[in-house]
Amino acid sequence: MSKATQTTKSGLSFDEFKSIVLNDYRIINESRQASLMGRKEVLTGKAKFGIFGDGKELAQIAMSKVFKNGDFRSGYYRDQTFMFAIEGLTLQQWFAGLYANTDQQQEPMSAGRQMGGHYATRSINEDGSWRNLTNQKNSSSDISPTAGQMPRLLGLAYASHFYKVNKDLHQGKYLNFSNKGNEIAFGTIGDASTSEGLFWETINAAGVLQIPMLMSVWDDGHGISVPKKYQTTKESISEILKGFQRDASGKGYEIFKTKGWDYVHLCETFEKASKVCREEHVPVLVHVEEVTQPQGHSTSGSHERYKSKERLQWESDFDCIKKMREWILENAITTAEALDKIEEDAKSAIRNAKNAAWASFCEPIKQNLKQVVDMIHAVAAKSSQQAFIQKVADDLTHAIEPLKRDIHMAAKKVIRLSRHEHSEERQALINWINKARVQSFDEYSSHLHSQSDLSPLHVKAVAVQYGEENKQCDGRELLRDNFDKILSTYPETLIFGEDSGKIGGVNQGLEGLQAKYGEHRVFDTGIREATIMGQAIGLAMRGLRPIAEIQYLDYLLYALQTMSDDLATVRYRTKSYQKAPVLIRTRGHRLEGIWHSGSPMGMILGACRGIHICVPRNMTQAAGFYNTLLKADDPALIIEPLNGYRLKEKLPINFGEFCTPLGIPEVLNEGKDVTLITYGSCVRVAQEAIKALNETGISVELIDVQTLLPFDIHHSIVESVKKTNRVVFLDEDVPGGATAYMMQEVLEKQGAYQYLDSAPLTITSHAHRPAYGSDGDYFSKPNADDIFEKIYHLMHEVNPNEFPALY
């Protein structure tokens, strides 16, 4: 393309055009130099692991040009150039990420928690409130699992649709999140990762929903070492997605193809792609082919092992920086000398950024090291172990590139060496360790949940109120009326899932609400649990309050990866720079058969730290949890008891107001012989057993824990064990599941072991999935007879005369 065509086409003067081109050339060179230097930093041991964006620079420049304030990115570890181009990241911050600097000012992406290459921008202020997301360019925080960014992308794009159609949100505080839905959600993915199911589920859902999602595939022909022929049918993602192309007869995608080294075509393609996407709310795929990876996949190995000589030569010939340089010279935009200078300047910019980042990483370590070495010398001077302690100080002083842990290890070693001695100096060192522990906790373990005033733990309990007539209703009606109140109170709430819309849920807990609030507030989705979860995550990241339904707890497994890898870690992995207060509504525990009776609580507890887990025994408690959680800003899973929708409960009169607090167990039955701890549907089974036990003279204190995460935040259960001296943990998970978790909480954390006169006991289901039918339930899950017999046996061991053996 000639110089004249360029300028006329863009409507810019030649100087303006030139300045844009050269600025782009600067950014891609800086980004490339960062990758080259990054690899060196890893290979020389200053950083642990490196995965870089070399070869993908030019496509990202093109994408950055159409990325506007308010837009969102959900991408992966190759996108450094894009982040530099949108000024979402400085070169120094990029190196700070490589070194795992825990200072959030230095490393704003994850405060050192994620390996480099995982990008994020800040959405949340210090006090937990939202920033104005329409005034900035936004990147949702990356995760490492390939295609893990896809479900969230769906939600980020769907949020634009929601903001567009929901006129109540075209005013006030909502304008901080969206300009009437005018934003695009940009996705990026490597070609090989399109093999993942999450990619396909998301692509289909976005096509169904017709949302502004602009999906770019950086196609370098490999996934680590595995070439496309093992990844993609016909070796082309755009080829096989052709059936998604929209045409006159229906909805679908616009699909574009371009090349990773062709600056002009890339820019034109993204221009067209974003126009359709933004203006028509149509999902778009941009397949960027002929992309290179000059340094191979990561610092873990070299690509010479799997790329042919021809491929390596091609990658060198079609390197996007080389090609852009050629294009600039061919079009006489500037001289070779001017480009040489840009390239040289890029090298020195990177050297400076690296040095500054390294210095700021080392500075606090140096200061601490000096302080601790001085303290160790002081301890040594007063110690009979002087020589040994002195050596610890010397080793620390001479350590090459010491880390924080070297300082901690040295300090702790000195405390061990001087364990028989007492001195002020030793105490000073202990004080340092204790203080440093607090700091390390903040650096490495804080912000798993909200630490602001918006934490659900600050929401006070509000009692349920009942009318004078003492009316009753079905559990599902109670929930429905509470959701009705929620939808009318909070315009930012929306409820969706399989069968949630038209028929109002398989258990009718949403009956009539779509008719009342419209299809955009209460709606059906396809059968796609992982992207229901992702849809909720993206929506919540854009200021909305999704209540996502997973039809049965058994099917949470389909969504569990997204829940565990993405939702549960959003806050932790950004140290509260981002949040996604999603509420997941599901129903579980006992009903019928292997896939409608699940209670895999141990699995969930293990996978979902970072999400509150509420296990209400009835719908009143469940409704109270929704009310609590909507006043707060953390994600939570609420498992409604599947067999409780048609059971009668007292009809409250303060719907939407009563709040069930998190982490507060409830004593449902006072007793003196045994403390029985349970939750969910097991509460009713326990109550049945307790009646029978009472008749034999055994008095049971029944405690419903109500939430498993958090668990009994005031340690109230140990108070019951102090009284009964016996404790039983009951649930319908497998042996060693949530009962083992509760036992650890109570015996170890609350110290209840000290008060036990009998061995602690767990009552669980059998180790297999529950069999079908009422008999299947009886023989698979703990029933009232089992509970009776196990607790009776416990008391028999205590007093065989009063409680003779049953069998």
Ligand X SMILES: Cc1ncc(C[n+]2csc(CCOP(=O)(O)OP(=O)(O)O)c2C)c(N)n1
Nearer to ligand X, 217 or 591 (CB): 217
- Sole window of 134-142, 215-223, 328-336, 655-663 interacting with ligand X (rule: CB under 6 A): 215-223
Q: How far is the CB of 262 from ligand X (least distance, A)?
A: 19
Transcribe 272-323 into DSSP letters.
HHHHHHHHH---EEEEEES---TT-SSTTS-GGGTS-HHHHHHHHHT-HHHH
Would you count residue 78 as binding ligand X (CB under 6 A)?
yes
Would you count residue 222 as binding ligand X (CB under 6 A)?
yes
Nearer to ligand X, 79 or 262 (CB): 79
Would you count residue 50 as binding ligand X (CB under 6 A)?
no
**Total binding residues toward ligand X, as defined by CB under 6 A:** 14
Site track for ligand X across 564-593, x = CB under 6 A: ------------------------------
Q: State which amino acid sits at residue 39.
A: R
Q: How far is the CB of 76 from ligand X (least distance, A)?
A: 7
- Sole window of 99-107, 221-229, 490-498, 732-740 interacting with ligand X (rule: CB under 6 A): 221-229
Q: How far is the CB of 356 from ligand X (least distance, A)?
A: 28
Which residues in the 280-299 window bind ligand X by CB under 6 A? 297
Transcribe 626-692 into DSSP letters.
HHHHHTS-S-EEEEEEGGGTTSEEE-BSSTTT-BPPTT--EEEE--SSEEEEE-TTHHHHHHHHHHH
Nearest Cα to Cα of residue 245 among 253, 235, 237: 253
Read off φ and ψ for residue 93, nearest 5 degrees: -65, -35
Would you count residue 598 as binding ligand X (CB under 6 A)?
no
User: In the numeric block, which tokens belong to residue 481?
Assistant: 């009326």
Would you count residue 149 as binding ligand X (CB under 6 A)?
no
Would you count residue 31 as binding ligand X (CB under 6 A)?
no
Q: What are the residue ranges of helices labelled H in 75-127?
A: 80-85, 91-99
Read off φ and ψ for residue 440, nearest 5 degrees: -65, -35
Render the burial of 451-488: b for 16+ CB within 10 Å, e for the rest: ebebebbebeebebeeeeeeeebbbbbbbbbbbbbbbe
Cα angle 765-771-774, degrees, rounded to a multiple of 5 = 95
Nearest Cα to Cα of residue 711 among 613, 598, 581, 602: 613
Would you count residue 220 as binding ligand X (CB under 6 A)?
yes
**Cβ count near 588 (within 10 Å):** 28
Q: Name which position in 144, 210, 331, 699 contacts ligand X (CB under 6 A).
A: 144
E strand or H helix at 493? strand 493-497
Residue that has been written with the tokens 């409507």 in this structure: 11
Q: What are the residue ranges of helices labelled H in 542-630?
A: 556-561, 570-574, 601-607, 619-630
Would you count residue 192 as binding ligand X (CB under 6 A)?
yes
In the residue annotation, 330 being an active-site residue is answered as no
Residue that has been written with the tokens 């052709």 in this structure: 242
Q: Which member of 222, 287, 589, 596 is catalytic? A: 596
Nearer to ligand X, 294 or 776 (CB): 294
Would you count residue 190 as binding ligand X (CB under 6 A)?
yes
- Sole window of 143-151, 397-405, 473-481, 508-516 interacting with ligand X (rule: CB under 6 A): 143-151
Would you count residue 786 as binding ligand X (CB under 6 A)?
no
Q: Are 423 and 379 in contact (CB under 8 A)?
A: yes
Would you count residue 146 as binding ligand X (CB under 6 A)?
yes
Nearest Cα to Cα of residue 706 among 675, 738, 662: 662
- What is the Cα–Cα distance from 659 to 626, expressed in whole angstroms? 8
Q: How far is the CB of 694 from ligand X (least distance, A)?
A: 53
Q: How far is the CB of 71 from ligand X (least distance, A)?
A: 22
Nearer to ligand X, 222 or 612 (CB): 222
Nearer to ligand X, 565 or 719 (CB): 565
Q: Which member of 529, 640, 701, 732 is catalytic? A: 529
In the residue annotation, 732 being an active-site residue is answered as no
Q: Name which position in 223, 538, 546, 588 contacts ligand X (CB under 6 A).
A: 223
Nearer to ligand X, 97 or 656 (CB): 97
- Sole window of 103-111, 187-195, 322-330, 376-384 interacting with ligand X (rule: CB under 6 A): 187-195
CA atoms within 13 A on the CB side of 600: 19
Binding-site ranges for ligand X (CB under 6 A)? 78, 144-146, 190-193, 218, 220, 222-224, 297
* Residues involved in catalysis: 529, 596
